[in-house]
Amino acid sequence: MIVFLMWVCVMMLTSFVLVVILRIVTGHQIDYDAIEIALLIGFLMGWISYGFDPNYPKAFFKRLSNLIAHKDTPSGRAE
Protein backbone atom coordinates (compact mmCIF):
# COMPACT_ATOMS: atom_id res chain seq x y z
CA MET A 1 0.00 0.00 0.00
CA ILE A 2 2.81 2.39 0.83
CA VAL A 3 4.42 1.80 -2.56
CA PHE A 4 1.12 2.67 -4.24
CA LEU A 5 0.84 5.93 -2.29
CA MET A 6 4.44 6.87 -2.98
CA TRP A 7 3.98 6.10 -6.69
CA VAL A 8 0.83 8.23 -6.88
CA CYS A 9 2.68 11.08 -5.17
CA VAL A 10 5.55 10.82 -7.67
CA MET A 11 3.11 10.95 -10.59
CA MET A 12 1.23 13.90 -9.06
CA LEU A 13 4.48 15.79 -8.52
CA THR A 14 5.63 15.04 -12.07
CA SER A 15 2.34 16.22 -13.53
CA PHE A 16 2.39 19.36 -11.38
CA VAL A 17 5.93 20.28 -12.45
CA LEU A 18 5.11 19.72 -16.13
CA VAL A 19 2.00 21.89 -15.95
CA VAL A 20 3.86 24.70 -14.16
CA ILE A 21 6.68 24.59 -16.73
CA LEU A 22 4.20 24.62 -19.63
CA ARG A 23 2.26 27.52 -18.09
CA ILE A 24 5.45 29.54 -17.64
CA VAL A 25 6.76 28.78 -21.14
CA THR A 26 3.46 29.64 -22.82
CA GLY A 27 3.06 32.81 -20.76
CA HIS A 28 -0.15 31.81 -19.00
CA GLN A 29 -0.85 32.59 -15.39
CA ILE A 30 -0.60 29.69 -12.94
CA ASP A 31 -4.04 29.45 -11.36
CA TYR A 32 -5.69 27.03 -8.96
CA ASP A 33 -7.66 25.29 -11.72
CA ALA A 34 -4.47 24.33 -13.54
CA ILE A 35 -2.95 23.02 -10.32
CA GLU A 36 -6.07 21.00 -9.47
CA ILE A 37 -6.22 19.47 -12.95
CA ALA A 38 -2.50 18.66 -12.84
CA LEU A 39 -2.87 16.87 -9.51
CA LEU A 40 -5.92 14.99 -10.71
CA ILE A 41 -4.14 13.87 -13.89
CA GLY A 42 -1.12 12.81 -11.82
CA PHE A 43 -3.33 10.82 -9.45
CA LEU A 44 -5.01 9.06 -12.35
CA MET A 45 -1.66 8.37 -14.05
CA GLY A 46 -0.30 6.83 -10.87
CA TRP A 47 -3.40 4.77 -10.19
CA ILE A 48 -3.71 3.45 -13.74
CA SER A 49 0.00 2.72 -14.20
CA TYR A 50 0.12 0.90 -10.86
CA GLY A 51 -2.89 -1.14 -11.97
CA PHE A 52 -1.15 -2.21 -15.17
CA ASP A 53 2.09 -3.35 -13.51
CA PRO A 54 2.38 -3.16 -9.70
CA ASN A 55 5.97 -4.44 -9.87
CA TYR A 56 7.26 -1.44 -11.82
CA PRO A 57 6.93 1.12 -8.99
CA LYS A 58 8.60 -1.33 -6.58
CA ALA A 59 11.51 -1.73 -8.97
CA PHE A 60 11.63 2.04 -9.54
CA PHE A 61 11.91 2.84 -5.83
CA LYS A 62 14.44 0.05 -5.27
CA ARG A 63 16.57 1.39 -8.13
CA LEU A 64 16.23 4.94 -6.79
CA SER A 65 17.30 3.90 -3.29
CA ASN A 66 20.30 2.05 -4.75
CA LEU A 67 21.31 5.15 -6.72
CA ILE A 68 20.97 7.36 -3.63
CA ALA A 69 23.01 4.90 -1.56
CA HIS A 70 25.61 4.66 -4.38
CA LYS A 71 25.24 0.89 -4.51
CA ASP A 72 25.33 0.86 -8.28
CA THR A 73 25.71 3.23 -11.17
CA PRO A 74 23.08 4.20 -13.77
CA SER A 75 24.71 1.79 -16.22
CA GLY A 76 23.81 -1.08 -13.90
CA ARG A 77 27.35 -2.04 -12.84
CA ALA A 78 28.47 -1.98 -9.25
CA GLU A 79 31.46 0.21 -8.47
Does this model's pTM top 0.75? My answer is no
37 inside domain:
yes
pLDDT grade, residue 12 (50/70/90)?
very high
pLDDT in tens, 24-60: 999 888 888 888 989 999 999 888 888 888 888 888 8
73 inside domain:
no
60 inside domain:
yes
pLDDT value at residue 55: 86
33 inside domain:
yes
CA distance 47 to 78: 33
77 inside domain:
no
Greater pLDDT, 74 or 68? 68
75 inside domain:
no
59 inside domain:
yes
- Domain that includes residue 58, residue range: 2-68
Query: In the chain, how many domains are there?
Result: 1
78 inside domain:
no
pLDDT of 74 > 70? The answer is: no
Q: Where are the alpha helices (DSSP H) in the chain?
A: 2-26, 32-52, 55-68
pLDDT value at residue 77: 57
